[in-house]
Amino acid sequence: SSHVYLHFSFFSGDWGWWAYFFQVDVDENPVIAKAESLTFVPTFKIYKNGHKLKEMLGPSQEALECALKHYSL
């Protein structure tokens, strides 16, 4: 949805110095969706050094920003 794209665009621009952001269309990439156990759209996951630190299902922009600030330390 456009709402998800707005989150993605905002964070890619503001947090691109610290993190990589990937957007996956689960309909076009069912193998990735299954491998990542995606059951809800949008799902945001934060990984650091190969380890998943946080998974957020349908978070607000504020909640995402708070999590990014927390894990960027």
- Mean pLDDT value across residues 18-34: 86
Q: pTM score, two decimals?
A: 0.74
pLDDT at 30: 94
pLDDT at 19: 74
For the cut 60, the answer to whether the pLDDT of residue 62 exceeds it is: yes
pLDDT at 9: 64
Q: What angle do CA 42, 45, 50 make, to 5 degrees?
A: 155
- Mean pLDDT value across residues 30-59: 90
Which H, E and C letters describe 49-67, residue by residue?
CCEEEEEEECCCHHHHHHH
pLDDT at 34: 95
